[in-house]
């Protein structure tokens, strides 16, 4: 009988053991005196880190050049090789950084301890959902694509959506109720006007307590459609830049120095997406193609 549980089981035990859902990360930072306190405070982070750690375990098992590892603690010395392999296989700086963050949490160390030269995370390096979509594939799933573009939900939020979560309010707006978004937070999204009736119709096709979507096509570029929602909503809300007080203008820096945006419109878009941070909208969604 094996002395150790499976590597995947060991990973699950460690990551589950670090859950601090419902606790304040800000408070933990102050109490521990560090920017990176112990534990995992967000459901989304938990899911992402678990997935990344499982990918590492899968790589360990499939890499025949490495000695067999039965204790997860013994796998730490191979993390640098794994991360450099991701870089060599042309994964984006963001993907490599996320993998490193997850594995640092697993091994309770810092990313720098892996001895990897991480590339800077810049928008020009982002690869997720930047490729031109397959027109035929999009047409095949046009109803889902338009639903995405109309409310900007994350994939996991779409899969949790019930028929009763979509309704028309007293003002005539179509509301999409996200009961559990990033960090477990609730929000109410106002569907964009051009997609509102379509969203209402799709949600109305199921019973109130039933899921609107039982599954979603994996090849659909959810992040791109969230970007379409964000950009569309921003330009619907934004005031002319020359009519906005200086303290209400957001000015981009670095490679996008000089670009100006309406801070108030950006904040509203951020809230609709479930971020509540202007910087996220500027860097990830309001790029100029």
> What tens digit of pLDDT does each residue of 228-272 get?
999 999 999 999 999 999 999 988 877 777 888 999 999 999 999
Closest C-alpha to 230, from 196, 274, 188: 274
> Do 83 and 116 touch, CB atoms closer than 8 A?
yes
User: In DSSP terms, which residues pair with 189 in a beta bridge?
Assistant: 176
Concatenated DSSP letters for 1-66? Answer: --SS--HHHHHHHHHHTTB-TTS-HHHHHHHHTSSS-SSB--HHHHHHHHHHHHHHHHHHHH-TTS
Q: According to the CATH classification, is domain 135-284 in 1.10.443?
A: yes
Q: What is the pTM of this model?
A: 0.60
Are the C-beta atoms of residues 234 and 246 closer than 8 Å to each other? no
Domain boundaries along the sequence of the chain: 7-125, 135-284
* Measured distance CA(67)–CA(83) in Å, rounded: 18
Structure confidence by residue, pLDDT tens digits, 113-160: 888 887 665 555 454 445 566 789 899 999 999 999 999 999 889 999
Name the strand (E) or helix (H) holding 188.
strand 187-190
């Amino acid at each position: 009988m094996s002395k150790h549980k499976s590597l995947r089981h060991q990973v699950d035990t460690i990551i589950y053991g670090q859950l601090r859902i419902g606790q304040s990360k800000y408070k933990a930072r102050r109490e521990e005196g560090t920017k990176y306190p112990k534990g995992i405070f967000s459901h989304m982070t938990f899911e992402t880190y678990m997935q990344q750690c499982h990918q590492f375990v899968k790589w360990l098992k499939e890499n025949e050049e490495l000695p067999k590892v039965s204790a997860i603690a013994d796998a730490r010395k191979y993390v640098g090789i794994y991360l450099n392999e991701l870089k060599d296989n042309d994964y984006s700086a963001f993907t490599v950084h996320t993998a490193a963050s997850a594995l640092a949490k697993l091994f309770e160390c810092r990313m720098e301890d892996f001895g990897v030269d991480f590339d800077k995370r810049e928008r020009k390096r982002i690869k997720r959902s930047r490729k031109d979509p397959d027109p035929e594939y999009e047409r095949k799933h046009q109803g889902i694509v338009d639903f995405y573009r109309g409310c900007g939900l994350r994939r996991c939020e779409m899969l949790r959506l019930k028929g009763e979560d979509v309704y028309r309010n007293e003002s005539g707006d179509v509301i999409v109720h996200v009961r559990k978004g990033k960090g477990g937070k609730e929000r109410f999204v106002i569907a964009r006007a051009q997609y509102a009736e379509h969203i209402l119709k799709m949600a109305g096709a199921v019973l109130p307590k039933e899921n609107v979507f039982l599954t979603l096509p994996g090849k659909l570029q959810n992040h791109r459609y969230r970007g379409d929602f964000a950009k569309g909503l921003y330009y619907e809300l934004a005031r002319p830049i020359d009519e906005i007080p200086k303290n209400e203008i957001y000015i981009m820096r670095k490679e996008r120095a000089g670009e100006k945006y309406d801070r108030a419109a950006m904040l509203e878009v951020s809230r609709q997406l479930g971020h509540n941070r202007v910087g996220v909208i500027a860097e990830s969604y309001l790029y100029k193609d």
